[in-house]
Structure 1
Amino acid sequence: MKLKLLYLVLISLCNILHAEKYFTPDPPPTVISVYEDAVFYDMYAATVNQPLPADAIRQNNSSYTKMLTESQLDSFGNKLTMNITIGALCDNYDRLANVYLALVTKGSADYDTNSVTKLELGRFITPFMNKNVSPTSVPYAFQMDNVAAILKDPVLRSQYDFWIEFVVLGVPYAAQTQVSGCAGRIDTFKGSLSFTTTTDSSIPATNNFLLPITAAKSLNNYSATDVPGQTIRMLSFVLNAPVNNANFYLITSNHGANSGGEEYIRRQHFISLNDQPIYNYTPGGKSCEPYRQYNTQGNGIYGSSAQSTSWWTSWNNWCPGDAVPIRKIPLGNVQAGSYTFQISVPSAQFVGQQGDFPLSVYFQGEKQNVLSTSDVKITDVKIYPNPVVDVVKISSTKKIKATEVYSSDGRLLRVFKGNEADISEYQSGMYILNIIFDDGMSLKHKIIKK
């Protein structure tokens, strides 16, 4: 009996040793530090000349950018979390903050943030913080495994350098009189940003496809709309080939702090693709009590005592001290062709023509085949102005062969060569442009003639 038991133990030990020989455990997490205690300043003041975070460029008082090194990019696995810590300095109000991934032409020493292609990786709201009251910092975490696929994409890496923009808006004027030690100071917040990454060997590799659409594009019904008087944005793009397991990644947040402002009213948002509804949501819907601990400066949102979840969800769109959701909209397999993404918020009012819903969205999925560098170049189409008085212009990374103008009932009115269409002779109303590219693909887009 003892010999049999010893035999079984030896067999088990051999099996374990055999398994260890052929099984390599996944590596431990790697932390990639990008910014450490970067100091932000008054967004309205002249750009300061203060020390910079290591290897960073100051774009303005509220924004830094920094290129990820090849060594850092090589360190990314297929699991990814972005970690941010914001520390209190001399702004004691809730402010908007963002992180962007800028795709910059390979080898560039700098770039224009207003024209570069970029994705918004995360958006968050700072709490009302008093730097003299603990806790003096607030953490944020964003799970973004899909972004790991972008950072590891060899074709994108052959075309672009990846830069991380870190933006924290801030204004010190209230704190200069309300917070001890802030008189005369214009430093608003300090921030740190890092990525924690690891590799899960059970997740199969995919052939990443990325199409940036827009980043922080204004949306309202009075100055930033594609349909006058309505809160609507229509964003057109072209897919040159089918994309599997596709998703939109969408970020919006409602702002407008005036009386009756959009921050204080929850509005339903509707998303459609080529006029077909695909998603809807109403921001908010959660209690802000978990973030009360970080709001150390007295304010009119939190008050002096805890509130019920029903009270918070009756009006609140976001919480000071919390991240804004990144909404993943599944699309399944999407065929090659032209598409128009539309977001509408029909009940939004923007009292006094104040407020804005900054909009960021990109499209990501899996290509069916291995790509060459030319296959992944972004097809970007811009149609402006819209509404239009006379001449509508079209800019595109593809060459435009012709532009057809149709009435709202589908009658062909005129064909224009090139990237302009003069519709000054037509009556006010809605028209449809059919933009035909040299490669035979086309894109339809609605415009409004004033």
Structure 2
Amino acid sequence: MHKKLFFLSLFFIALFKAQTTTVTNVISQAVYYDGYAAPVSTPVPAGLIRLSNTRYARKLTDAELNSFKAKIAMRVTIGALCDNYDRLGSVFLAMVPKNQPTYTVDDTNVKRIEVGRYITPFMNKNRSPLEVPYTYDLSNLYSVFHDNGLRTNYDMYMELDVFGVPYAAQTQVAGCTGRIDVFSGTLTFFSTNTAATVSDYNSLVPLLSYSKLNNYNSTDVTGETVRLLTFNLPNAITDAHFFVISTPHGANSGGEEYVRRQNYTYIDDVQVLTYTPGGISCEPYRVYNTQGNGIYGSVPKSFADWTSWNNWCPGNSVPIRGFTLPNITAGNHTLKHTIPTAVFNQQQGDVFLSVYMQGKSNAVLNVKDVKTIDVTIYPNPTSDLVNIKSKIDVASISLFSIDGKKLSENYRENKIDLSAYPTGVYFLNIVLKDGTTFKHKIVRK
């Protein structure tokens, strides 16, 4: 067994042996079906809601919520059925209005945060191992599960999602002819107070949940697209911790899956997070990829080979990134996420982005008026004009030098001319008609 997997196994053995460990089985071997097919009518496992062919939910009872201890580990186990390709799956915490008997996946009254994401391996159900485990440290959810204000207003459901389609397996995997069951899924929590620090967040701010970002659906111009999210905080928040999950997808030639690109996140024009997905070896997860495929190939690859191109590994969980801000004032704020070099070749592929925040405040769900906008700023670099395209009209564009000197300003126009200025780096201050304001770096070539 690979060293990393060995230590993960030891981690769970230690949890099982610990007398103070609580085990909460939420979903057990639920069967998932073709994500493109009509909703199936097979019986739903007891206690679960089937939100779609690809997602089940179960409400956590008061006894279960009370039983969670300060150190929380979550394990997702995906079993091989009749999908032999790598697919995307997630775990969500859904906060449903109190005593609402059921809900749908698009119920606007439900507050949802993505707490974990994973990539399935290429699995053949006739070859061992027949399942793959994914583990997460979700100790930050202790304060959510035990928050009396949240529990007074909401019932808490855990959702386990895995998208799959059976078409290749129907012809490539023995025993899958005509079948549309694609995976099985199990969701389990382990919690202990041993060597734990109790989190004391009392404010939860859902921002983006599995939001799709590209530069072709939001605009008809190929160029640099940024995701803007504006939100209003009725109360100030201290010790604000942001949780970020993102993965690039696009398996076409030159697709976003195969090109590692730097991501940037800003809060109110201050850069707070920079990362490039991938950067690890996928060899520890080769054992779960029992179906031959073009990602792993037939022989092991070097660390340098894996890290030269891969953004994620089939069979691995997706890292949960984050950043902390000491204070965020009450009022309007803007989160900007941008991937400046993303191409989305042949107008294919997406980046799926989730963000939520926890902090300390005197409000429970301390957020309102969350709104997303995609704005394209192109070309960048430019020799003269920079164009701004958005579904919300531009109110003004101001051009600043790198030392902060204001050089020009346009009103009610969606472009600005840099041809009169020397080559170098400049900043645009863009104000949209709905009041959204943000800065963006431009290179004059």
> Which TM-score tier does this pair reach, normalised by the shorter chain?
0.7 to 0.9
1:176-223 Cα deviation digits (max 9, x unpaired): 111111111110000100111123586356242111101001111111
* Structure 1 residue 40 corresponds to structure 2 residue 40: no
Return closer, same or farther for 1:226/1:376 CA change in 2, 3 Å cut-off.
farther
Partner residue, 1:255: 249
CA contact 1:236–1:445 (8 Å) conserved in 2? no
Residue 227 of structure 1 and its aligned partner are, at CA, apart by 9.4
**SS of 1:342 mapped into structure 2:** strand
Aligned mate of 1:53, from 37, 45, 48: 45
Partner residue, 1:398: none
Give the stretch that moved more between structures: 253-262 or 46-55: 46-55
* Structure 1 residue 322 corresponds to structure 2 residue 308: no
Could you tell me how far apart the structure 2 residues matched to 1:204 and 1:320 are? 33
Aligned mate of 1:409, from 391, 395, 398: 398
CA contact 1:220–1:230 (8 Å) conserved in 2? no
Partner residue, 1:355: 349
Could you tell me how far apart the structure 2 residues matched to 1:273 and 1:226 are? 27
Partner residue, 1:198: 192
Could you tell me how far apart the structure 1 residues matched to 2:184 and 2:219 are? 34
Residue 241 of structure 1 and its aligned partner are, at CA, apart by 2.5
Residue 67 of structure 1 and its aligned partner are, at CA, apart by 1.2
Could you tell me how far apart the structure 2 residues matched to 1:447 and 1:96 are? 33
Partner residue, 1:308: 302
* Structure 1 residue 77 corresponds to structure 2 residue 69: yes
Return closer, same or farther for 1:67/1:158 CA change in 2, 3 Å cut-off.
same
1:285-328 Cα deviation digits (max 9, x unpaired): 00000000000000000010000000000000000000011002
**SS of 2:251 mapped into structure 1:** coil
Give the stretch that moved more between structures: 240-249 or 189-198: 240-249
Return the letter of the residue paired with 1:37. Answer: Q
State the TM-score, normalized to the length of structure 2: 0.81
* Structure 1 residue 299 corresponds to structure 2 residue 296: no
**Identity percentage over the alignment?**
47
Residue 71 of structure 1 and its aligned partner are, at CA, apart by 1.4
Return the letter of the residue paired with 2:238. Answer: N
Return the letter of the residue paired with 2:47. Answer: D
CA contact 2:392–2:433 (8 Å) conserved in 1? no
Could you tell me how far apart the structure 2 residues matched to 1:376 and 1:57 are? 25
Aligned mate of 2:358, from 358, 364, 369: 364
CA contact 2:233–2:366 (8 Å) conserved in 1? no
Which of the pair has more CA radius of gyration?
1
CA contact 2:94–2:112 (8 Å) conserved in 1? yes
Residue 53 of structure 1 and its aligned partner are, at CA, apart by 2.2
* Structure 1 residue 29 corresponds to structure 2 residue 21: yes
Return closer, same or farther for 1:228/1:214 CA change in 2, 3 Å cut-off.
farther
Partner residue, 1:10: none
Return the letter of the residue paired with 1:432. Answer: V
* Structure 1 residue 167 corresponds to structure 2 residue 153: no
Return the letter of the residue paired with 1:62. Answer: T
Partner residue, 2:369: 380
Aligned mate of 1:154, from 139, 148, 157: 148
**SS of 2:398 mapped into structure 1:** coil
RMSD over aligned Cα atoms: 2.7
**What are the equivalent positions in structure 2 for 1:51-450 lying under 5 Å apart?**
51-114=43-106, 115=108, 116-200=110-194, 203=197, 206-224=200-218, 229-367=223-361, 371=362, 376-382=365-371, 392=392, 406-409=395-398, 426-429=412-415, 432-433=431-432, 444-445=436-437
1:29-61 Cα deviation digits (max 9, x unpaired): 101111000000011111111121221111111
Return the letter of the residue paired with 1:247. Answer: H
Residue 356 of structure 1 and its aligned partner are, at CA, apart by 0.3
Partner residue, 2:8: none
User: Where does structure 2 lack aligned partners over 5 or more consecutive residues?
Assistant: 1-17, 377-387, 400-410, 416-428, 441-445
Return closer, same or farther for 1:227/1:391 CA change in 2, 3 Å cut-off.
closer
Residue 355 of structure 1 and its aligned partner are, at CA, apart by 0.2
Return closer, same or farther for 1:381/1:434 CA change in 2, 3 Å cut-off.
farther
**SS of 2:351 mapped into structure 1:** coil
CA contact 1:226–1:386 (8 Å) conserved in 2? no
Residue 261 of structure 1 and its aligned partner are, at CA, apart by 0.6
Residue 240 of structure 1 and its aligned partner are, at CA, apart by 2.5
1:384-411 Cα deviation digits (max 9, x unpaired): 6868999859xxxxxxxxxxx842239x
Could you tell me how far apart the structure 2 residues matched to 1:91 and 1:202 are? 39
Could you tell me how far apart the structure 1 residues matched to 2:266 and 2:220 are? 14
Give the stretch that moved more between structures: 339-348 or 376-385: 376-385
User: Where does structure 1 lack aligned partners over 5 or more consecutive residues?
Assistant: 1-25, 394-404, 411-424, 436-442
Return closer, same or farther for 1:212/1:205 CA change in 2, 3 Å cut-off.
closer
CA contact 1:219–1:225 (8 Å) conserved in 2? no
Return closer, same or farther for 1:228/1:155 CA change in 2, 3 Å cut-off.
farther
Partner residue, 2:425: none
Return closer, same or farther for 1:337/1:304 CA change in 2, 3 Å cut-off.
same
CA contact 1:218–1:224 (8 Å) conserved in 2? no
Residue 433 of structure 1 and its aligned partner are, at CA, apart by 4.4
Return closer, same or farther for 1:166/1:391 CA change in 2, 3 Å cut-off.
closer
CA contact 2:204–2:366 (8 Å) conserved in 1? no
Return closer, same or farther for 1:131/1:205 CA change in 2, 3 Å cut-off.
closer
Residue 101 of structure 1 and its aligned partner are, at CA, apart by 0.6
Could you tell me how far apart the structure 1 residues matched to 2:431 and 2:198 are? 43
Report how many residues are paired.
Answer: 386
Residue 110 of structure 1 and its aligned partner are, at CA, apart by 1.8
Could you tell me how far apart the structure 2 residues matched to 1:305 and 1:73 are? 46
Residue 447 of structure 1 and its aligned partner are, at CA, apart by 11
1:361-401 Cα deviation digits (max 9, x unpaired): 0111122xxx46xx6453133266868999859xxxxxxxx
Could you tell me how far apart the structure 2 residues matched to 1:201 and 1:257 are? 43
**SS of 1:380 mapped into structure 2:** strand
Could you tell me how far apart the structure 1 residues matched to 2:330 and 2:197 are? 27
Partner residue, 1:15: none
State the TM-score, normalized to the length of structure 1: 0.80
**SS of 2:355 mapped into structure 1:** strand
**SS of 1:267 mapped into structure 2:** coil
1:107-141 Cα deviation digits (max 9, x unpaired): 11122322332000100000000000000100011
Return the letter of the residue paired with 2:71. Answer: K
**SS of 1:254 mapped into structure 2:** strand
**SS of 2:257 mapped into structure 1:** helix
Return the letter of the residue paired with 2:370. Answer: V
